[in-house]
Amino acid sequence: MKSTFLRFVLAAAALVAISALAQTSSATPSGPGALPAAPSAANSAATPNAPSTGTKVGTINIQDAIFGSNEGRRDMEALQKKFEPKQTELKGQNDELESLKKQLNTTQDKLSEDALGKLKRDIETKQKTFDRSVQDAQEDFGNQQQEIATRILQKMAPLIVKYSQEHEFGVIVDTSKPWPQSPVLWWGEAVDITKPVIDAYNTQSGVPAPAAPASSKPATPKPTSTAPKATTPKPAEPATK
């Protein structure tokens, strides 16, 4: 599941980074005391010296461009691998919780009132602990995923501006969000620059494509707002005698 929050962060970051680059490329310091701006991560790559005069409208899926690049795929695979122990831990907690729920469903008629009350309290306590662990893992995973996206976007933004100017695009629209969340209803592949930007960034970064599993087709890790899930719907609390 794609994160709405991540899309919002990427859209905001892209707007700031690309707007700054466009302004830098169209304005030069003047006056006796003017000094060139200090280089930053967002404009460390070569930036065209003249503003674009193109009139074409193009599109780019910023999220796919970031996580479809070799660097994005590599870093997302590493992040997912990093969270495998947490996934195993959550699965263990979930299995224990489900075992207790099954025990409650099958033995509630046979337990004493005290034993039944204790079992219910144990389930409630473990459920709260499990839910908290899942939430913490989701937040941790999401924060680290956002750091990857922001870092790559800062280096990719100059390429987007350069490519757009060289190919006479006057406007580039982000299509990370589908309509109706996005004002873009439809676009054709001919105006989408996502793949050319990915190819250019792969060349610039020098990061090789991650090795594909031997028995499966290459897959691009997709950003997600959660750590590996191990949740199970809570059954309705059974009535007691």
pLDDT digits (tens, 9 = 90+) for 87-134: 999 999 999 999 999 999 999 889 999 999 999 999 999 999 999 999
In a domain, 21, yes or no: yes
DSSP secondary structure letter of residue 58: E
**Residue 48, pLDDT above cutoff 70:** no
Predicted local distance difference test score (pLDDT) of residue 11:
53
Residue 42 inside a domain? The answer is no
Q: Which residues pair with 169 in a beta bridge?
A: 56
Q: Is residue 236 part of a domain?
A: no
C-alpha closest to that of 75 among 8, 4, 149, 133: 149
In 3D, which of 84, 93, 145, 148 has the Cα closest to residue 122? 93
- Which structural domain, as residue segments, surrounds residue 93? 4-25+48-205
* Cα–Cα distance for residue pair 15/100, rounded to 1 Å: 50
- Domain CATH code at residue 16: 3.30.910.20
Block residue for tokens 């409650």: 104
Which single residue is written with the structure tokens 């996580």? 67
Name which of 51, 29, 49 is nearest 38 in CA terms: 29
pLDDT value at residue 240: 44
* pTM of model > 0.85: no
Each residue's pLDDT tens digit, 144-192: 999 999 999 999 999 999 999 999 999 999 999 888 888 888 888 899 9
Residue 179 domain flag: yes
Worst-scoring range by mean pLDDT, 14-28, 32-46, 103-117, 191-205? 32-46
Could you tell me if residue 192 is inside a domain?
yes
In a domain, 197, yes or no: yes
pLDDT (0 to 100) of residue 155: 96
- The pLDDT, as a whole number, for residue 180 is 87
Asked whether residue 233 is assigned to any structural domain, the reply reads: no
Total number of domains constituting the chain: 1
pLDDT of residue 160: 95
Measured between alpha carbons, how far is 111 from 80 in angstroms, rounded to an integer?
43
Give the Cα separation of 111 and 117 in Å (integer). 9
- What pLDDT is stored for residue 202 in this prediction? 97
d(CA 106, CA 10): 49
What are phi and psi for residue 25, nearest 5 degrees?
-75, -20
Does any domain span residue 129? yes
pLDDT at 221: 53
At 36, phi and psi to the nearest 5?
A: -65, 150
More confident residue, 234 or 94: 94
